[in-house]
Structure 1
Amino acid sequence: MSRLIRLFLLFVFSFVALSVSAQKDSIPADLPKADNGEAPAMPISIEVGKSWYKGDSIPAVIFPAIYKYPPLDFANEKERQNYSRLVQNVKLLLPLAKMARATIVETYDYIQTLPTKKERQAHIDAVEAGLKKEYTPMLNRLSRSQGRLLVKLIDRETNQTGYQIAKAFVGAFKANLYQGISFFFGLNLNKHYDPEGDDRYTERVVRMVESGQL
């Protein structure tokens, strides 16, 4: 993977969640950190509350939706291997996409309390430096196809394309530069994640991983 694409992924990974108003209650509060440059484990997110039953409150636990898919019928061994590779890559990269969102969301309210733009930028820079130090070793090992998948998964988590995220934080000129170089390496930062179309198999794997079926 080219150095510029890697830097872009580090940038997106650091700041993706600041471009959306995330719902904190739906995000695991304490995601585990990476170990020796590997992807962190991804817990299954559940909601805990209470319900009323015969005039009294009882604990209520809401588990994530579980999607039941029919077994895939592969035309040949190559298709089976491609799907197995997709499963492995989603398991590796999905926690990173969620971590990028969750880590920054935790600081979102705090940043809003800082009185000056200079102080806000200083705090953002500190968060970015910490993430780069912790996750650069793993991101350095990503292939081009894994880089493309990570950008798609970040789009899925935030509903923001890579180009939109870059433009929001570094302006249109640098965003266009990222897009031009990325396109040369087969990565379109303007393309949205498409769970019903091109990315339907990725969405299938993501849902099964999120519900603990894979």
Structure 2
Amino acid sequence: MNRCLFPVLAAILLLTNLKAPAQVMTEYGPVQTKVVDGDTITTVYLKPAFVFKRAADERRWSRLIYNLKVVYPIALEANATLHAMEQRMDSMKTKREKQEFVKAMERALKRKYTPVLKNMTLSQGKLLIKLIDRETDQTSYDLVKQLRGGFRAFFWQSIARLFGANLKDTYDAEGDDQIIEELIMLYEAGLL
């Protein structure tokens, strides 16, 4: 009896799986297939297509996507580091202890990010300033002023202005930075 039961159960399982929808990942994204009345229907979800009037616009768009892929993970990590620092500083009692902690964190961050930041382009740096504002809800200038003081913030703002950047730049998701916001949504969805 057991010898007959196994083939019957195996056949039932195989036949029930034939009508269930299947999903396979390809290089273009998920492909779903479904059998309806003996016909196989395949559904492929394509990435959004962008059409540009001029080749220069397409190059600018591609460059912005590349820069976002380079800079956005750094902005996310900056946000996580800032929150961890704030939590740790809340548990500290004296101002001196907080200052020493901030200096130690600054040295560690310089060791970690100096090679990365030195290889960034100016446009990537400007984008990073905006994304840090987006992630932390504070401008880069305010963060430096809060953590290291007004003189340091003024110094780094002056250096940034010499190169055409501004640490006081804010992120405007509905205005000037709407395209960046859309690209971030596509990046987070895995469509870039």
Q: How much does 1:179 deviate?
A: 2.8
Of 117, 120, 125 in structure 2, the residue corresponding to residue 139 of structure 1 is 117
- The aligned counterpart of 2:179 is 201
Q: How much does 1:163 deviate?
A: 2.3
Q: How much does 1:70 deviate?
A: 6.1
Tell me how far apart the structure 2 counterparts of residues 98 and 128 of structure 1 sit (CA, whole Å): 17
Q: Which amino acid aligns with 2:109?
A: L
Which deviations, in whole Å up to 9, do the C-alpha atoms of 1:161-212 show, x marking residues without a partner? 2222233234444433433332232212223111222212111111111121
CA 1:172–1:124 in 2, change beyond 3 Å: closer, same or farther? closer
Contact 2:71–2:128 (CA under 8 A) maintained in structure 1: yes
Q: Greater relative contact order (Cα 8 A, min sep 6): structure 1 or 2?
A: 1
Structure 2 residues without counterparts, runs of 5 or longer: 1-46
Q: Size of the alignment, in residue pairs?
A: 146
Which deviations, in whole Å up to 9, do the C-alpha atoms of 1:109-141 show, x marking residues without a partner? 222222211112222222222221122111110
Q: Which runs of 4+ in 1 moved over 6 A?
A: none
CA 1:72–1:93 in 2, change beyond 3 Å: closer, same or farther? same
Tell me how far apart the structure 2 counterparts of residues 176 and 168 of structure 1 sit (CA, whole Å): 12
- The aligned counterpart of 2:33 is none
Structure 1 residues without counterparts, runs of 5 or longer: 1-68
Tell me how far apart the structure 2 counterparts of residues 101 and 109 of structure 1 sit (CA, whole Å): 12
- Counterparts of 1:1-214 in structure 2, within 5 Å, are 71-214=49-192
SS in 2 for 1:189: coil
With the length of structure 1 as denominator, give the TM-score of the two structures: 0.62
Tell me how far apart the structure 2 counterparts of residues 107 and 191 of structure 1 sit (CA, whole Å): 23
Contact 2:145–2:152 (CA under 8 A) maintained in structure 1: yes
Q: Which amino acid aligns with 1:159?
A: D
Across the aligned residues of Structure 1 and Structure 2, the Cα RMSD in angstroms comes to: 2.0
CA 1:184–1:88 in 2, change beyond 3 Å: closer, same or farther? same
Tell me how far apart the structure 1 counterparts of residues 94 and 189 of structure 2 sit (CA, whole Å): 42
CA 1:181–1:153 in 2, change beyond 3 Å: closer, same or farther? same
Q: How much does 1:157 deviate?
A: 0.4
Report the identity percentage. 40
Tell me how far apart the structure 1 counterparts of residues 144 and 163 of structure 2 sit (CA, whole Å): 17
